[in-house]
Structure 1
Amino acid sequence: MSAPTVSPSEGQLRRAASALRHDPLALTGAAVLVLLVVVGVAGPWLAPSGINDVDVDRMLQAPSWAHPFGTDELGRDVLSRVMVAARVSLQVGAVSVGIALLAGVTLGLFAGYYRGWVDNLLMRCMDVLFAFPVLLLAVAIVAVLGPGLLTAMIAIGVVYTPIFARVTRAGVLSVREQVFVRAAVSIGASDLRIMRRHVLPNIAAPLIVQTSLSLAFAILSEAALSFLGLGVQPPAPAWGRMLYDGRGFVTDAWWLGVFPGAAIFCTVLAFNLVGDALRDVLDPRQLTVNEARRSTG
C-alpha cells in the first residue's frame, strides 16, 4: 500500500494556461517566443544570405530592400546573421538553465528535506556562489575553462544554480511537513520516492516561474560574455558579438548595433512577460495579493 500522490500542480497548470489565453501581454510574449523558436530552428534555411558571405563591394550598406537590416563592415547580410544567432541564444538559454535547474533542484531538495548539517553545508556553498556578481563569476569560470559556446553554457548554468537551490529549498521546507508527506513516511516509503513523487510535484509551480525568468537573464548573460569575447567565437554569429563588432561604427552604421540589440531586447522582454504572467497565476503569495485586491476593490 502506498500513499496517494498529491499533485495540485496539474490544476495550477490548467489555470495558468487559461489565464495566459486571456492576458494580451502574455500572448504577445508567447507569440514572440514562438517566432523566435521558428527562426532559431529554421534560421539557416530562412536566412536570405550566407552568414559569412563576404562582399567588400557592399560593405556598410544601409538597410534596403535587398538587405533589410543592412550589411556589416565585411559586406555580410546583418539580417541573416541576426536570424542564425537566434539559435545560439536559444541553445545557451535552454542548456544553461537546464544545468542550473537540475543542479539547483537536486541540491535544494536534499537541503530542505534532510535539513541539519546537510542543509547547512549545501546552502552555505550556494551562499558563496550567490555572493559573487553573476557576470563576474561567469567571466572567472570562462577564464579558467577557456572561451567558447560550451564553457559559456556551463558558466551561466553554474552562476544560476544557487537561485534554483534557494527556491527549491524554500518550497521543500513548507511541503515536507504536510500530511501527505507524513503519511508516505509512516508507510515506509523511501526518501527518494517521497521527494520524487510527493515533494517535487508540489513545488513545481515556483520552479516553472523561475525557469521562465532565468531564461531571459541567461540570454542576457550570454550576450554579455560574447560582447567581451568570451562566448561564441567568430565567425559564428552571436548577438552580443555583433554588438561588439559594431561598436566602432555607431555614428556611421547605426544598424550594426540597433538590430542585434533589438533582438536581445525583444527576446528578454518576451520571456519576462510570460514569466510575470505565470507568476501571477502560480505564485501562492501573488494569488493572495490578487484576491485581497479584488475583495477590497
Structure 2
Amino acid sequence: MTTTDTTSATTGRTTRMLRLLLRDRMATAATVVLLLVALCALLGPLLLGDLAREQNLQAVNRRPFSLDDGWEFVLGSDSLGRSVLARLVVAAGTTLSVAVPAVLVSLVVGSVWGMWAGFHRGWRENVSMRVADVILSFPSLLLAVVVLYVFDPSAANIVAVLAIARIPVYLRTARAESAELRSRLFVDAARTFGTGHWATIRRHVAPIVLPTLLTVAATDFCFVMLTESSLSFLGIGIQPPDMSWGLMVAQGRQELQTAWWTAVFPGLAIIATTVSATILAGWVRLAGDPAQRWRLTVPRRRRERARTSGTVAAKELS
C-alpha cells in the first residue's frame, strides 16, 4: 500500500467517524463542551492571565449576570474583586495540565506493559499482575494525600503520583485483551511468517485493544480530574497563586452565604467536563467496536421498534 493509499484510508476513516459523531446529539454536545474547555485551557492563560489575578477592592463580591461593570464580571467577582469568569477560564489550563499528562502517562505505560505481559504470559504476566495488585491495594486518593503531604504539593508531583497510581488500570485491561487475542488465528499466522513479538503486538494486537483502552482513558480522565480537585479542596493540591477549579471551590466554600457563585461556577465546570468525558467515552466504545457500531448508524426509532418486536416475539414463544 502506497503512502497516498494510506492517507486516503485514514481520511476516509476520519470522515466516517465524524459522520457517526454528528448523528449522536449527546456525543456531539459533549465533544463541543470538551473542545471549549481545551480552548480555554490553551488560550485562557495567554489572554486572561493578568485579569484573573487583578484585584479590584471596589468590585468586591459583585453578583453575576450583570454587564453594568463590564463583561469580565458577567459571572461576578470574589472577595478580592477578581473576575470569576477570568479565573474560571485560566483555572481550566491548570486543571487539564494535571489531568491530561497523568492520563497519557498511565495510558502509554500501562498499555504497553499490559500487552507485553499478556502476549508473553508466564512469569512476565505473573510478576506484572502482582505489581498491579500491590499498587491497587492503596486507594489512589489516599496514596496521593500521603505522598503530597511528605513532598511538595506541586502540579508535577500530583501528575507523577496519579500517573503511577492509575497504571494498573490500563495494565490489567491490556493484559486481559492481549491474552485473549494471543490465541487467535491471525496472531498465529503472523508468528508463523516470522513476525517478531513487538511487531505482532503493534500491527495485530494494539489496533484491537486500543478502542477499549481509549474508553478506559476517557473515564479515567474524570477520576483524575476529580482527584486533583479533591486534593486542591483539601489544601494539598494546586497552591496559590496558581488556580484550579478545585482550589476555587475550596476558596469559595467559605463565602457560600454571601457569594455563592465563587464556588458554584467552578463546581459546575467540573461537573460539565466530567459528564461530557463520560458521554464521549461511551460513544468511543460503541464506535470502536464493529459489533456495536450499528447502534450509532441505525436511527433510535428503528432500534426501539426492533427491541419491541424482539420482546413480543419472545413472549409469544414462551
TM-score w.r.t. structure 2 length?
0.83
2:75 is aligned with 1:69? yes
- State the match for 2:214 in structure 1: 208
The answer on 1:282 being equivalent to 2:304 is no
**Greater mean deviation of Cα atoms: 122-131 or 262-271:** 122-131
SS state at 2:78 partner: coil
Q: Tell whether the 8 Å contact from 1:12 to 1:205 is kept in structure 2 after alignment.
A: no
Task: State, as a whole percentage, how many aligned pairs show the same letter.
Answer: 33
| Cα deviation, residue 181, structure 1 | 1.3
Q: Of 94, 97, 107, which residue of structure 1 is paired with 2:103?
A: 97
Shift of 1:171: 1.1
User: 2:5: which partner in 1?
Assistant: none
Structure 1: distance between partners of 2:295 and 2:38? 34
Q: For each residue in 1:236-256, what CA deviation from the matched residue of structure 2 results, as whole angstroms up to 9, or x when unmatched? A: 111101111111111111011
Q: Please, what is the CA RMSD of the aligned residues?
A: 2.6
Is the contact made by 1:15 and 1:281 (CA closer than 8 Å) also made in structure 2?
Answer: no
CA deviations 1:40-71 (Å, max 9, x no partner) are: 11113443961211222222222231311211
Mark the structure with the bigger radius of gyration.
2
1:172 has 2:172 as partner: no
Contact 2:45 2:93 (8 Å CA) reproduced: no
In structure 2, how many angstroms separate the alpha carbons of the residues matched to 1:220 and 1:262?
Answer: 12
Find the aligned partners of 1:288 and 1:69 in 2 and give their Cα distance. 43
1:68, 1:227 → 2: CA distance? Answer: 25
Whether the 8 Å CA contact 1:209–1:282 is kept in 2: the answer is no
- Match of 1:21, as an amino acid? L
Q: Alpha carbons of 1:111 and 1:245: their partners in 2 closer, same or farther (altered >3 Å)?
A: same
Q: 1:116-149 deviations in whole A, cap 9, x for unaligned?
A: 1211111111112223222112222323442111
Higher mean C-alpha deviation, range 147-156 or range 62-71: 62-71
Aligned twin of 1:7: none
- Give the TM-score taking structure 1 as reference length: 0.88
- Shift of the 219–136 alpha-carbon distance from structure 1 to 2, 3 Å rule, reads same
Read off the aligned partner of 1:38 and give its amino acid letter: L
Rounded to whole Å, the distance in 2 between the matches of 1:20 and 1:221 is 29
2:175 partner amino acid:
R
The equivalences for 1:1-297 within 5 A come to: 16-47=17-48, 50-63=51-64, 64-65=66-67, 66=69, 67-283=73-289, 294=306, 296=310
How many matched pairs?
289
| Per-residue deviation, 1:289 | 9.6
How many angstroms apart in 1 are the aligned matches of 2:234 and 2:109? 27
Runs of 4+ with deviation above 4 angstroms = 10-16, 283-295
Q: For residue 130 of structure 1, what is the amino acid of its counterpart? A: L
**Separation (CA, whole Å) in 1 of partners of 2:238 and 2:222:** 18
Which of 23-32 and 34-43 deviates more?
A: 34-43
